[in-house]
Structure 1
């Protein structure tokens, strides 16, 4: 059964469905190593990050295992428990598409916040950054502070629809695929770089620099996307 080029809608799920079907039909036997990410990308006609999201989805569902320094291998499904239902829900967004969507929305919330922020809004952003730094210093992923920072920005906009949208976007990163992807590519060191990006956003908002705040948020989201798009090998995984 040859691989087929997929359409650009829900890419990672279409890729995962094709690979899952191949495994189920025995095209990739239990214990076999899947083709390299670059080869799958070429055959499917999609980006390597999209392939990576699909492989992470299959790992969460118990179809494959990513082995550090070796590759991605097919698991024996009969010897394993069924996958967590949450990993199979079609409503779960792809992490990289989510970051791109956040870039659009949160670039504008940062701009609005810069135009109408109050001192208490800036104080809330600063407090969130301090929380992030404290957690990173303890070797803990500073998700609590990160969430508080982005919510402080949208709170300055005074728009409940935007607030609920940003909350929904941010909390979607708690899904099993995003969580597993973060486990591979997020480190305390990468979070320290993200903290500096948050400070740049806060400084632009405090200065009431509307275009600067938008640009700083765009740059933060672009760098977040890059951190999740690095190669497995550069991340030290396969």
Structure 2
């Protein structure tokens, strides 16, 4: 469940993505809450009846669904009814055999997990009534294929997403050198930043909308509190 301070209307817009078709880059250090935030964002979209795509790059679909269920967000019914399309990038690369279960049979498994095939897959999805696409994460694609191939992917996929829906991509801070990271940032309409700070009470996480080219925004940092079954932004 997503909980907000009642005064944070701009953060509410960020969370509910009340914007025109656009692409967002979620960037921050490992452990800053990027994936957890997007998991909750995805679940909110599904509950509202939207059709979504989740591209599993960092985790297998089985691990992704287990993590969702652990946070009290069971997505299996949405996979079964076609509201959630899971694209499996990791399993073929890792040599994990196909899942023959009812849910496993619904998963779109890439035969050859490369940026080129991801691009082809995105083209096939253009005719669908998809509202949101989430990719977690770009970091692994960069490490597997390097800047040139990943750049080609973004140059093709980002315009396609803008034509039809909203896209969110995750990138770990520090994976790329500063010049490359700045270039990647420039490709997206919006940049959502995360940071982690030490405090006397332990680790504290923060989130902000750093830039959005399509609307005036609040760029202040807000505390991101991750709870067992939800998140809060204050």
Q: TM-score, normalised by structure 1?
A: 0.24
Specify which structure has the higher proportion of strand: 2
Higher relative contact order (CA 8 A, sep 6+): 2
Which has the larger share of helix? 1
Task: Report the TM-score when normalising by structure 2.
Answer: 0.24
Max radius of gyration: which structure? Answer: 1
